[in-house]
Amino acid sequence: MGEGQLSHARLTATAQVKVSLRRGDARPGCAVIGAGPAGLFAAETLARAGAHVTVYDHKASPARKFLMAGRGGLNITHSEPLERFISRYGDRAPYMQPLIRAWPPQDLREFCAELGEPTFIGSSGRVFPRSFKASPLLRAWLARLARLGVVIAPRHAFLVFAGERVLRLTSPESGEVLHSVDAVILAMGGASWPRLGSNGGWVKGLAAAGVAIHPLRPANAGLRVSWSVIYQGDFEGQPIKNVVLRHESARHGPITARGDIVVTRSGLEGGPVYALSSRLRAATEAAGAAILYVDLRPDTSLEHLARKFAKRPPKQSHATFLRRAGLNRAEIGLLREASPHGLPRDAEAMAELVKNAPLTIAGVSDLDRAISTAGGVSFEACDARLMLRQLPGVFVAGEMLAFDAPTGGYLLQAAFATGRAAGLGAAQYLGLSGGKETPSEPDHAGFAPRHLPNSLELSAPNK
């Protein structure tokens, strides 16, 4: 992989090699790179099939993004009919369909229940664990992985492939390590929330190996709006409740989303914003800007608002009248932003503005502020088992794959479903038929950064 295609001789010439091979274990040795939900579920699937699995992650603890997602109430999946669920993956739905059908939302709910976290369906159709948190689920899951013999090696950064299924890793404890395995599952995430571990650093190496990759772009991201200094200063952080956002395009027609939004320094955040962000990202990339319409009173008709605004007392200020008509300061300010030449005095024009306030969208937030990542490894670069065609024995799972999904449980469902598919694919590649949970006692409940199986440990050179 570019400079990563290092021979064993070249690598070992710069360090003293100490061989530490695990003896007496006839099971195939497999590595999973990335300890998010996709990687952990791939590891569980492989371990149950009879492989010895080590999960490497460059952070100090596993599943950091999963834990962060759980802080606001872990939306694990969605309860809507399966056909509609699959359609949420847009133009990648044909690729995601067999994966989701093979492990649908009900299976994910049963998985949570097995780990002591029964789920329930919220009023929106979203599915949550009983505790609303990710931490109890993760603790129970890590304990089960330990019983299955899965070894989790934190603070191990994957550098490159140093040969066919030979991993070059580094850690503070062991220095550089060459780890030869029978199969590899890459589950290193996209490039959103890089402080939690996923930074897209894998793109260059895989591209150099001839793997087709769609550019990584922000998804489920905030929208950028050039607020006036006054609006930005007065209303940053203010919520605007129960609105409908609408974007129209000649190619795709109108699309809407409803919910609460939040004014930020750079624009807008919130559920309906994220739901439209992929469409608006494409529109702004194509034209430089796009118009988003905001309906501040989706449950009130245009005619009713016009009648209401026609009753303004002649001596009352426009702002006072609008507040008494039920609009709050943040809403009035947003209307001023949408109508920079002044709020209309005509009742019908004012009603039209409340129902269709146009905001100019300059783009979406950067990757480091996005919830998820669009783009990644092309499905065409993988076979039906999610094995890379250019790298036999190397599989891909999770957000590294080029799918784009809205929030609402679709991202986590995809992580689990692709992790399972990659794990089964690797098991099939290795000729494994399956297995059951078997007890074992890995060091530190599954955390074992040293004495890794089937590895060549490189000690640091003498100084």
User: Which residues make beta-bridge pairs with 243?
Assistant: 259
Q: How confident is the model at residue 19 (pLDDT cuts 50, 70, 90)?
A: very low
pLDDT of residue 298: 97
pLDDT of residue 415: 97
Across the chain, what does the average pLDDT equal? 87
Residue predicted with more confidence, 5 or 293: 293
Helix (H) / strand (E) element for 364: namely strand 363-364
Homologous superfamily, domain 2-218+371-459: FAD/NAD(P)-binding domain (3.50.50.60)
Q: How confident is the model at residue 323 (pLDDT cuts 50, 70, 90)?
A: very high
Q: How confident is the model at residue 459 (pLDDT cuts 50, 70, 90)?
A: very low
Q: How confident is the model at residue 25 (pLDDT cuts 50, 70, 90)?
A: low
Lowest mean pLDDT among 17-26, 193-202, 304-313: 17-26
Q: Quote the percentage of the chain above a pLDDT of 90.
A: 74
Contacts 24+ apart (CB under 8 A), 279-288: 279/247, 279/249, 279/252, 279/255, 280/223, 280/247, 280/361, 280/364, 281/217, 281/218, 281/219, 281/221, 281/363, 281/364, 281/374, 283/247, 283/249, 283/361, 284/361, 284/362, 284/363, 284/364, 285/363
Contact, 199 vs 191, CB < 8 A? yes
Residue predicted with more confidence, 6 or 254: 254
- Joined together, the tokens standing for residue 10 give 């070249």
Give the integer Cα–Cα distance in Å for 263 and 237: 5
Q: pLDDT tens across 98-110, in order?
A: 999 999 999 999 9
pLDDT of residue 197: 77
Q: pLDDT tens across 377-429, in order?
A: 999 999 999 999 999 999 999 999 999 999 999 999 999 999 999 999 999 99
Give the integer Cα–Cα distance in Å for 326 and 152: 56
- Flag whether pLDDT at 136 surpasses 50: yes
pLDDT of residue 253: 85
Contact, 275 vs 373, CB < 8 A? no
- Joined together, the tokens standing for residue 173 give 């404890």
Contact, 12 vs 459, CB < 8 A? no
pLDDT of residue 434: 61
> Hey, where are the domains in the chain?
2-218+371-459, 223-364
Contact, 265 vs 365, CB < 8 A? no
Residue predicted with more confidence, 368 or 111: 111
Q: What is the mean pLDDT of residues 229-249?
A: 96
Q: How confident is the model at residue 315 (pLDDT cuts 50, 70, 90)?
A: confident
Interhelix angle 410-429/105-114, nearest 10 degrees: 80
